[in-house]
Chains A and B, each alone.
Chain A
């Protein structure tokens, strides 16, 4: 039996037990004693109740009334309930009469027709309560399921986003690089040849990055070096580059294209906006048993950080997804016109 079915029977049996106990409680309250016959009547009422509510449920499921709009389903339900509660009452009365379960000589004024009517109203009310609980349960379950679905969808969307971000190399960069290379073909053919190699390295790596969770820092640094070499070809003396890498960190796993994205941002938002250019400095070191990667560039964070934050937001998301709270990312202005982006990763022993 699956858990949904189990839960249904738990509610069904539990509900009717509560009903029976309530009857007993009131009987005891008013009559100060509970006869064996009363117990029998209760037992039959419960058995019949379960049987007829099962029937009601079968009807609801058969005609898919849970999905039907409320204004359509209510008249149908009332009709079915009237029928079921009548049949319920008739069977109940028949059993009581046949087995002679009623104790007192009844008030003769209560003829059979009135008794039927009174019992039917009672049963109709019980069925209504049952129905309300049934519908309420399904309503909450549906809301819950919708929430879960939304979360799942968000996760899928995020995953897709990450995939596209990972392979994302700014087309602006590619075309500018190609343009510079074309100019170099005459001016400095040797440099043009290396530039083509550098550009193809970057493109190849950005395509492969999609397939990998992490790469050794050394690989990532090689792309960054190629990338910066190409940017230096464009910006010439306007771009100064500096590396400060602890050799022991070269084997540490890093998410592919993450450092590259930060360096691209440093160039795009820092260097390329400054008339006199500036510097980019890349550091990697161990600090407090954590692996720290830092990208500094000249410039200042302007207010628009969040709008342009495709790179920043995605870096944050990727780290979250991969390392949870074991990784950190921050970007801020540090002293005298320098912006610093810092990634802290757990150390892989």
Chain B
């Protein structure tokens, strides 16, 4: 199965070099190139690639900033010349990174790793979602909070909490802030999985451990990890409806 890839790097020569290296891999098709982050966002949104090769240091916005602006992150292989600091920022699960000049063997390993991830996920992410509007459970998002970054699968997120114009994302032991309103998130999230419990919270239905009746016809949800979320009366009706199906 061919993978559609985009190369994002501010240096033309660096893009050329990578393209040349990728010629040995007919299963990877470079569908577009971008020279900076804003161009990158545009191309990613219109081409919906399976994979991007992303330089970290670019003019304007960095590669990290760019990812944080994407609704859904494709698989990412970072390419950087030498950037201990940026690589350290990585907490978890970047698919891989390549140091420029790229060693062909390392590129082969990175692509191989990508194949394995795809197999594990049952190929579901490699078929571009037809409906661009909603984010499925297997989609991953890139979260950046200050110096720390994560790739998070939506299915690993148990809760979104509204904090002004920001939303706090709860997954594992982390709760970073992202610059997205809860309403905007609600629109993009799959409503079969993510449920708007009240004005301030969206919960992942698969993460609910306990449901209790609460005042006024509302409900109290206990979520994995111990957080308790109130469901307003109006939403409780909806919740029961969904759950009884």
- Contact indicator B101/A175 (Cβ below 8 Å): yes
**Interface SS majority for chain A:** helix
**Which of A233, A238, A272 is B57 in contact with, Cβ under 8 Å?**
A272
Which segment, of A75-83, A140-148, A176-184, A221-229, faces chain B? A176-184
Over the window 158-172 of chain A, the binary record of Cβ atoms lying under 8 Å from chain B Cβ atoms (1 yes, 0 no) is: 000000000000011
- Interface residues in A274-294 (C-beta closer than 8 Å to B): 274-275, 277
Q: Which residues of A contact B187 (CB under 8 A)?
A: none
State whether the Cβ of B129 lies closer than 8 Å to any Cβ in chain A.
no
Q: How far is the CA of A175 from the CA of B189 in the complex (A)?
A: 41
Q: Which residues of B contact A182 (CB under 8 A)?
A: 17, 101
**Which of B10, B17, B38 is A183 in contact with, Cβ under 8 Å?**
B17
**Which of B16, B59, B81 is A175 in contact with, Cβ under 8 Å?**
B81
Number of interface residues of B (CB under 8 A): 20
Q: How far is the CA of A159 from the CA of B84 in the complex (A)?
A: 26
Q: How far is the CA of A182 from the CA of B100 in the complex (A)?
A: 10
Q: Which residues of A contact B100 (CB under 8 A)?
A: 175-176, 178-179
Q: How far is the CA of A337 from the CA of B159 in the complex (A)?
A: 44
Q: How far is the CA of A234 from the CA of B100 in the complex (A)?
A: 13
**Interface SS majority for chain B:** loop
Task: Say yes or no: A172-B16 contact (C-beta < 8 A), given A234-B11, A235-B11, A275-B59.
Answer: no
- Contact indicator B13/A233 (Cβ below 8 Å): yes
Q: Closest chain B residue to A274 by CB distance?
A: B59
Task: Say yes or no: A275-B11 contact (C-beta < 8 A), given A175-B81, A175-B82.
Answer: no
- Interface residues in B19-48 (C-beta closer than 8 Å to A): 20, 36, 38
Q: Closest chain A residue to B13 by CB distance?
A: A183
- Interface residues in A231-284 (C-beta closer than 8 Å to B): 233-236, 238, 271-275, 277
State whether the Cβ of A186 lies closer than 8 Å to any Cβ in chain B.
yes
Q: Which residues of A contact B173 (CB under 8 A)?
A: none
State whether the Cβ of B99 lies closer than 8 Å to any Cβ in chain A.
yes
Q: Closest chain A residue to B84 by CB distance?
A: A171
Q: Which residues of B contact A271 (CB under 8 A)?
A: 59
Q: Which residues of A contact B146 (CB under 8 A)?
A: none
- Contact indicator A180/B14 (Cβ below 8 Å): yes
Q: Which residues of B contact A275 (CB under 8 A)?
A: 36, 38, 59-60
- Contact indicator B13/A180 (Cβ below 8 Å): yes
- Contact indicator A184/B60 (Cβ below 8 Å): no
Q: Closest chain B residue to A184 by CB distance?
A: B13
Interface hub of A182, A234, A277 (most chain B Cβ within 10 A)? A182
State whether the Cβ of B83 lies closer than 8 Å to any Cβ in chain A.
yes
State whether the Cβ of B238 lies closer than 8 Å to any Cβ in chain A.
no
State whether the Cβ of B12 lies closer than 8 Å to any Cβ in chain A.
yes
- Contact indicator A172/B14 (Cβ below 8 Å): no
- Contact indicator A172/B83 (Cβ below 8 Å): yes
- Interface pairs (28), CB distance under 8 Å: A172-B57, A172-B81, A172-B82, A173-B81, A175-B82, A175-B99, A175-B100, A176-B14, A178-B101, A179-B11, A179-B13, A179-B17, A179-B102, A180-B13, A182-B17, A182-B101, A183-B14, A183-B16, A187-B16, A233-B13, A234-B11, A236-B11, A271-B59, A272-B57, A273-B60, A274-B59, A274-B60, A275-B59
Chain A interface (Cβ < 8 Å from any Cβ of B): 171-176, 178-180, 182-184, 186-187, 233-236, 238, 271-275, 277
In the complex, the 5 A-B pairs of residues with the closest C-beta atoms, listed nearest first: A175-B81, A183-B13, A183-B17, A179-B100, A179-B101
Chain B interface (Cβ < 8 Å from any Cβ of A): 10-14, 16-17, 20, 36, 38, 57, 59-60, 81-83, 99-102
